[in-house]
Chain A
Amino acid sequence: MGAGHGHRLHFHGHSVVHRAPAHLKVLVLLGFVLTVVATPREWYPVFGGYLVLLLGVVLLARVPLTYLLPRMVVEVPFLVFAALMPFVAEGPRVAVPLGGWEVSLSESGLLAAWGLVAKGTLGVLASLTLAATTEPADVLRGLQRLRMPDLVVQIMGFMIRYLDVVTGDLGRMVTAMRSRGVDPRSPRHWPALARTLGALFVRSYERGERVHLAMLSRGYDGKLPEGVK
């Protein structure tokens, strides 16, 4: 991966966690989240243990929590969903005083909401830790060692490599639209937005064709040489 294509989530460092082999980290992460998901949600102290373990790894990696926490917003829609659970779930209900009101909430719904929040949060934090401590290129090499099909790894590699190029393309188009008084969010301007996306597709597709020809001219035979992922 060339310079200037740094990943948004990666936090540069040289800790033990940063230096650990990527395939090992992916395996440990997968094992960890599977264990978390399989843990019965009534085992409250165990989740505390998971959190301490995870925070220990974050501490060891010397990634500041202030770096990870704002990036956990991807979870927000599901916190909303979890918050709705106690209101819509079946089963016996309990009255909970909430700001002067007595609100009738479902017991099983409260339990389900707790489970969602706990497991979801642990999962997001663990995934963020992997992303923060591992360069995308290393994750790809790790996946290859874990026997993920070579072609899938290559496609992922190309996607990551050109992600900033394509989103940059779109960003410039949207800036151009905005400077001409178009609001991309408004349904009134959807036709303009759609033409932009159509142009972006044609550009991306043609870029793919050019990249393929450039690869052929450098001797591509279906496999990428070592060290360019």
Chain B
Amino acid sequence: MHVPDGFLDAPTSVATGVVAAAGVGIALRKARAELDDRTAPMAGLVAAFVFAGQMINFPVGAGTSGHLLGGALAAVLVGPWTGALCISVVLLVQGLFMADGGLTALGTNITLMGLAGVFVGYGAFRLVLLVLPRRLGSVPLAAALGALVSVPAVAAVFSLLFAVGGTADIAFGKVLVTMVGWHTVIGIGEAVITGLVVSAVVASRPDLVYGARGLAGRRPLLAEEVAA
């Protein structure tokens, strides 16, 4: 899923680089407002978690496998800004230290997966949550639908970028249909796993789930029992 060097031409790569830098800059400020001086260790550990989660492969048919992108998952668990920051850091580390995704395509990758994936996923999650009953049980379902939408949305944005700065002469419609079609299949796997992971965290530590804030309800203190 990581775009390598030479996929998009130089002007497009530079332009997405500027978008990515601006996006990460804003995410940095917003995450800092949320986490304060806990930002560095918390975002670092969540990024390590996202990286570990991406190592899980799942079959998507025809003998190939996809892996978790984690955009919607990170957004629901730690909030969209911190999530975007974490995914961007994962992509930076993969590009700079593991040669995974081209260096000139770093801006493209961050724009696609770190910004578009996270915010589309989170937006869909919020919208679905508006319709569903205000209960903790709605959070995993909304997260799954957010993930389901986010993966093909990233593919659609990629097709758009490819139409602008692609290095091959392929009709836009063809790229769009193939990319979105293929990624809808991957999106189903992503949706199921995202929903199940969120439901597991909601079951054990609902207080940690950003997307469940205000839904967890206060548990009454059992002071009398302790006193008795």
Tell me whether A37 and B5 are in contact in the complex, defined as CB-CB below 8 angstroms, given that A184-B56, A198-B201 are known contacts. Answer: yes
- How many Å from the CB of A169 to the closest CB on chain B? 8
Does A170 lie within 8 Å of B55, measured CB to CB? Answer: yes
**Number of chain A residues close to chain B: CB under 8 A:** 89
Tell me whether A123 and B48 are in contact in the complex, defined as CB-CB below 8 angstroms, given that A159-B90, A209-B38 are known contacts. Answer: no
Q: Chain B interface mostly helix, strand, loop or mixed?
A: helix
Does A74 lie within 8 Å of B41, measured CB to CB? Answer: no
Within 8 Å by CB of B41, from A126, A139, A195, A211, lies A211
**Number of chain B residues close to chain A: CB under 8 A:** 72
Does B47 lie within 8 Å of A159, measured CB to CB? Answer: yes
Does A151 lie within 8 Å of B98, measured CB to CB? Answer: no
Does A89 lie within 8 Å of B5, measured CB to CB? Answer: no
Tell me whether A30 and B90 are in contact in the complex, defined as CB-CB below 8 angstroms, given that A115-B6, A162-B45 are known contacts. Answer: no
Tell me whether A78 and B196 are in contact in the complex, defined as CB-CB below 8 angstroms, given that A151-B39, A152-B28, A205-B45 are known contacts. Answer: no
Most central of B42, B52, B169, B204 by chain A CB within 10 Å: B52
Q: Determine if A51 is an interface residue (Cβ-Cβ < 8 Å).
A: no
* A interface list, Cβ under 8 A from B: 7-9, 26, 29-30, 33-34, 36-38, 41, 71-72, 74-75, 77-78, 85, 88-91, 106, 108-109, 112-113, 115-116, 118-120, 122-124, 126-128, 130-131, 136, 139, 143, 149, 151-152, 154-163, 165-167, 169-170, 184-185, 187, 190-191, 193-195, 197-202, 204-205, 207-209, 211-212, 215-216, 220-222, 224
* B interface list, Cβ under 8 A from A: 1-2, 4-7, 9-10, 13, 24-25, 28, 32, 37-49, 51-53, 55-59, 65, 77, 85-86, 89-90, 92-93, 95-100, 102-104, 167-171, 174, 178, 189, 192-193, 195-201, 203-205, 208
